[in-house]
Structure 1
Amino acid sequence: MDSTAATPPDHRTGNPAAPTRARHHWLSAGAMGLLCLSGWAPAAPSPGPACALATAPGETLIDVPFEGVDGRIYLQVQVNDAGTFRFAVDTGASGVARADARLVRALHLPSGDIAAHSDGMRTADAATVRVDSLALGDVRRQRVVAITRDYNARQSAAAAFDGILARDFFDDGLLVLDFPRKRLRFRRDLGLLPEQPGTLAYTRAFRIPVQVGTVAAEAQLDTGANVALVLPTALYTQVSSGAVTPDDPLTLTHGRIESGRARLDVPLRVGGLTLHGLDVRVSDRYPEAVIGAHALRESVVLIDARSKRVALCPAQR
């Protein structure tokens, strides 16, 4: 739910592959010929429905358990070969990573340049730090520039973290988030293909097509958002007749915006999921719909940035 003004080089050669941003607390992307020209094709075809890839055999580079706190993903990441630290995984955050102020103090991370970033409503400057390396499983990113701030100022002790793995950490493979089994997997030997059943294309990460009741719309898929669903007021009133009651403001990086709360009385259909009775935050000030972590608790999410496709699958118990 953000953008940044800086556009540094590729993070695998020393800097982030995409702009970075500060994370909001509330909420705390010929087809095969083109893919081959861009330098990626899966090592073998990905046969059958996309959801089958969640547990397909092959070469998995990351297969780790995670904690679920308020719907969000937390796991242990090796930083600068100085030990493991608790990181949140946030597909709503651009760039490779974020560093909380306590990680900066603990490892004496050196300062970097100032980066401009947006929380979807306002743009501001942010401090950055330089991280020598981040490693999870068999994936290692080096010379990462990460936005830093005190992310834990408004967090509970249970939800506190040392940093954030953002979407570009996983930008060269297939990311699988299995919420019911609480496992994160990552691989490069398979991928989501344009013609594959059950996949959704995106242009801007990760804005995907959804259907709210009978209305077709677009929503951001944001696994770092500790909500089920956010809808702009105009869209909510178009699809639902339920009453909206006043509620706490939504907290973004650069401020707070007024919002209400309601129970969605029509189904939300996205990918292979049909979700009923979602708790929805309604705001006439936030510009887009958001599907957050609370809506994904019983699902498996697959994201492939190489082909710019995602799949959302019901969990197989």
Structure 2
Amino acid sequence: MARNLAASLAVAGIGSSAALAGPERPPVCALVEKAGADALLSVPFRVVDGRIYVDARVNGGGPYSFAVDTGASGMGRADASLVAKLKLPVTGAAETSDAVASARVDTVRLASVELGGLVRRDIEVMTRDYSSRMMPEAAFAGILGRAFFADGLLVIDYPKQRLTFTRGPGLARGAAGVLGYERAFRVPVTIGAISTEGNLDTGANVSFVLPKPLFDRVGGGTVAAAGDGKLSNTAVKTGSATLRGPFRIGSATLSDMTVRVSDKYPELLVGAHALQHFALLVDQRSSSVALCPAGAS
């Protein structure tokens, strides 16, 4: 449904070891440089446990710390702390899903949200208390969701810690290294010889989460107890394991990854601890994404 705003998996304490493949520069990496030259906005970002944080202005005030989350649909979210600070009235309600459970939450209206040279006006966003459940360094005033960047090319360059957005030339669906999607941002992934689909989610502080049936299909192995994976509306028990892979996502290859395994989580999730080795390009105009390996952009 239009207001079904899926939230990100938030599991703390995940380590990963990655072997990046291939010295060749994928052709799609040229767009990272071109986006910088044509940028409507180009801002640095901070990384806390894999998640991306930028400084944005809200209703002309701030700056406030916002997370950039490709796992969040809609324009974004407002933390309860921001709503209280700006004395924003509740304007409605909406349903949120974390892929396992749903909940009803309030919505508020923001007159403007500005990041660099990009301004969105009169937007309705969900609000709830996110930050009180986080470590102080990970707290935020809000989230920028994928619709905030829907009309151009978004480049999240993890190695350089820079976020760029342009309405210039973007990804050509079907080109080398470019992955199309039907549902944001589920793209083809191979694990060893097994082909599947994975959800690219910059808001999830994990490398990969595999449903147990998929884990068994790709070779499985010993799974150690790893505690609960905390979702927005519930929690699921998870285990920890190491998978040789390799994991292949377009031009990106990762091996020897520490992953989470869950009986309850319904899909392969590709989180920030995997994506942080690359520049991630997202072009919602052509419903396509690409990954550019570190050192190739």
Q: Which TM-score applies when normalising by structure 1?
A: 0.86
Aligned to 1:178: 157
Aligned to 1:256: 235
Aligned to 2:27: 49
1:214 equivalent in alignment to 2:193: yes
Aligned to 2:180: 201
SS at match of 1:114: strand
Q: Distance in 2 between matches of 1:196 and 1:90?
A: 25
Shift of residue 153 of structure 1? 2.2
SS at match of 1:21: coil
* Aligned residues between the structures: 282
Q: Distance in 2 between matches of 1:60 and 1:73?
A: 19
SS at match of 1:127: strand
Counterparts in 2 of 1:81-230, with a 5 A limit?
81-230=60-209
1:68 equivalent in alignment to 2:47: yes
Moved over 6 A (4+): none
Q: Distance in 1 between matches of 2:240 and 2:292?
A: 27
CA contact (8 A) 2:7 2:96 kept: no
Aligned to 1:292, which of 271, 276, 289?
A: 271
In the alignment, structure 2 segments of 5+ residues that lack a partner are: 13-25
SS at match of 1:234: helix
CA contact (8 A) 1:20 1:96 kept: no
Aligned to 1:16: none
CA contact (8 A) 1:112 1:129 kept: yes
Question: Which of the pair is proportionally richer in strand?
Answer: 2
1:311 equivalent in alignment to 2:269: no
SS at match of 2:30: helix
Instruction: In structure 2, give the amino acid aligned to 1:188.
Output: R
CA contact (8 A) 2:210 2:269 kept: yes
Deviations 1:181-212 (CA, angstroms, capped at 9, x unpaired): 00000001111012422100000000000001
Q: Distance in 1 between matches of 2:79 and 2:32?
A: 31
Instruction: In structure 2, give the amino acid aligned to 1:73.
Output: I
Aligned to 1:26, which of 4, 7, 10?
A: 10
SS at match of 1:52: helix
Instruction: In structure 2, give the amino acid aligned to 1:55.
Output: E
Instruction: In structure 1, give the amino acid aligned to 2:5.
Output: R
Shift of residue 138 of structure 1? 1.2
Shift of residue 308 of structure 1? 0.2
CA contact (8 A) 1:240 1:266 kept: no
Q: Distance in 1 between matches of 2:93 and 2:121?
A: 20
Q: Distance in 2 between matches of 1:70 and 1:228?
A: 11
In the alignment, structure 1 segments of 5+ residues that lack a partner are: 8-18, 29-47
Aligned to 2:23: none
Aligned to 1:233, which of 212, 221, 225?
A: 212
SS at match of 2:206: coil
Q: Distance in 2 between matches of 1:316 and 1:163?
A: 31
- Relative to structure 1, the CA distance from residue 249 to residue 207 in structure 2 (aligned partners, 3 Å threshold; closer, same or farther) is same
- Relative to structure 1, the CA distance from residue 279 to residue 123 in structure 2 (aligned partners, 3 Å threshold; closer, same or farther) is same
SS at match of 2:32: helix
Q: Distance in 1 between matches of 2:180 and 2:162?
A: 24
CA contact (8 A) 1:27 1:292 kept: no
CA contact (8 A) 2:174 2:180 kept: no
Question: Over aligned residue pairs, what C-alpha RMSD do you find?
Answer: 1.5
Shift of residue 149 of structure 1? 0.5
SS at match of 1:258: strand
Deviations 1:92-114 (CA, angstroms, capped at 9, x unpaired): 00000100000001111121111
SS at match of 2:216: helix
Q: Distance in 2 between matches of 1:198 and 1:232?
A: 26
Instruction: In structure 2, give the amino acid aligned to 1:109.
Output: L
Shift of residue 25 of structure 1? 5.6
Q: Distance in 2 between matches of 1:242 and 1:122?
A: 28
